[in-house]
Structure 1
């Protein structure tokens, strides 16, 4: 079994070092990063370059800490002690390094550095637009906040919440979440301390490199899913949400009800952004209505707007007296025909018709 793994790893490593993309006469692009225990940031940095930037397609990869070898590389990430974009050096471990993504406080890792410098090109190629287009910039920012920043924080030892604040509040986790973060997902692909390894250093390095490739591909697949989502689903939804946001007075003079007429779409991010741009604290959306399916006769949902995107707390939950009831029983309690349900937690409900869903939202505004 070990011999088979070694042969596969050696073949993979050979391909990494021999396949190349000619850039100028006789030259080949080589990406250097460190060997040893690998992390999510350099795994993703390598993936983004080799997959999304034409210059690096099929680039060779060298994993080493040898300064002489790194000096021969076209591009170096996460090792070498240098951040010099003009020379394609993207390390963040030097004492003087404090670079952050525009508008964000988190110190960058190699993933953040590569994304900051090459992200707009990746997105522009996906959208087939100019890299300076406003929509490219919007996704560039959003993808950093939703995906890359977590890797930067993880690699730099930055907690999601202020440890001192948590300690002062006496907060403790109620259960284990399994520690399954993006960083942990990559970390689990490192060899275990007691896994059998070849005694020959070159063979052992080949086995380690093969695991790094698996990790780079794995984190890259997750990145690509987010890239696809934000370019193909999230961005087109903005126009629909903006239209619904502008039409709120049709349903409530204070703009507390928003209706997505045709179908549901990713609305939370866009709604919060539109509210910030409007800058009217007295005109917050409390309920969003949308059909369950984009077909005639579909049932309708009434969803409460959370206080923040990832919060389970609603700005104004549906009435407590309605929660946990269904169908005719809920019709009688609410005095609204066609009710389907209201969740026991009060964050969502449903009705057979748009008119019924709107009546539920309007009555919920009056109660509590």
Structure 2
């Protein structure tokens, strides 16, 4: 579905023109413009036109988030028309301009970073992962879709305990719009130039966050797959029921991979504790971490024993009956020991309590 460089989009001057709307800007078109300009060679150095004038938009080779058309053959990527209902494969969220550009160009973006074929399994895996973990939030935000069903929350009587500061991916861009009472140049051309300058800053800002995700998934998350898969397969060495997983040598991002392995293999018993060294040296201390109920949950499948929580060193040795203890967090989701054998002993004893 990716669009290759041979799109014949360049003008006689050698530059592509991207059109989007002027006025108050949002995260979806800011990211859409960034992805095209920074990751697709055809759009390198593309000129940006921010307008709602149909005549000016008609002159643009590519238009995002305005114009009332979704016609990928003509490089039109708007989602505001009443008939629009396109979603990412197997996802329920209606796309915004960010999702549309990522749908058509995301595989190429990932493939270039991995130096791998667009149709490879690795590219497809990361293409989907970045959509679900990053782009989909922008699609939902721009289409007015809440993370949780408001009616269900109200029916359950669930209210926020505190303000989260309303700091979201959408707000990263939204807060760069001018304030209502900021001075505006009298000259319309100067006023538009000032607004465009803010948009360029916003596009760069959300793009930096996108690139951090792209770098993480290609350079750290993907290489961790093999490490976690090996540790998952070796679980019976440490616990007959497979409830303890050990990451040897060096800790690696494991949560996503563990959940997907459990789902794929349909194991009877789930992993409760993950052991890993604090650093890749022979004298490293070891951590025991409880597996959360879900990736972003603060609730563990089986927290460390309540009687251990909040204690350290010799006192924790005395309470647990295990030598070399370093600490157990007051919330019971993580602990430490001076050695692997000690951390394993903590995990095994915690299983019994």
Q: TM-score, normalised by structure 2?
A: 0.96
2:151 match: secondary structure: helix
What are the Cα deviations for residues 322-354 of structure 1, in whole angstroms up to 9, with x where unaligned? 111111111111111111111111100110000
- Of the candidates 301, 308, 322, which is equivalent to residue 287 of structure 2? 301
What are the Cα deviations for residues 85-143 of structure 1, in whole angstroms up to 9, with x where unaligned? 11100000000111111111111000000001100100100010111110000000100
Q: TM-score, normalised by structure 1?
A: 0.93
Structure 1 residues 24 and 60: alpha-carbon distance in aligned structure 2, compared to 1, 3 A threshold:
closer
- Of the candidates 145, 159, 167, which is equivalent to residue 132 of structure 2? 145
- 1:3 corresponds to: none
1:177 match: secondary structure: coil
- Of the candidates 157, 160, 165, which is equivalent to residue 173 of structure 1? 160
Please state how far the C-alpha of 1:22 moved relative to its aligned partner.
Answer: 8.2
Unaligned 5+ residue runs, structure 1?
Answer: 1-20
What are the Cα deviations for residues 24-82 of structure 1, in whole angstroms up to 9, with x where unaligned? 65553100000000000000000000000000000110000011111111100000000
User: Is structure 2 residue 119 aligned with structure 1 residue 135?
Assistant: no
- 2:232 corresponds to: 245
- Of the candidates 31, 38, 58, which is equivalent to residue 71 of structure 1? 58
- 1:32 corresponds to: 19
**Structure 1 segments (4+ residues) deviating >6 Å:** none
Unaligned 5+ residue runs, structure 2?
Answer: 1-7
What are the Cα deviations for residues 159-195 of structure 1, in whole angstroms up to 9, with x where unaligned? 0110001100111111111111111110111111111
- 2:212 corresponds to: 225
- 2:323 corresponds to: 337
- Of the candidates 199, 216, 221, which is equivalent to residue 212 of structure 1? 199
- 2:244 corresponds to: 257
RMSD: 1.1
- 1:12 corresponds to: none
1:341 match: secondary structure: strand
In structure 1, distance between residues paired with 2:170 and 2:334: 33
In structure 1, distance between residues paired with 2:52 and 2:14: 22
1:31 match: secondary structure: strand
User: Is the CA contact (8 Å cut-off) linking 2:246 and 2:274 kept in structure 1?
Assistant: yes
User: Is structure 2 residue 346 aligned with structure 1 residue 349?
Assistant: no
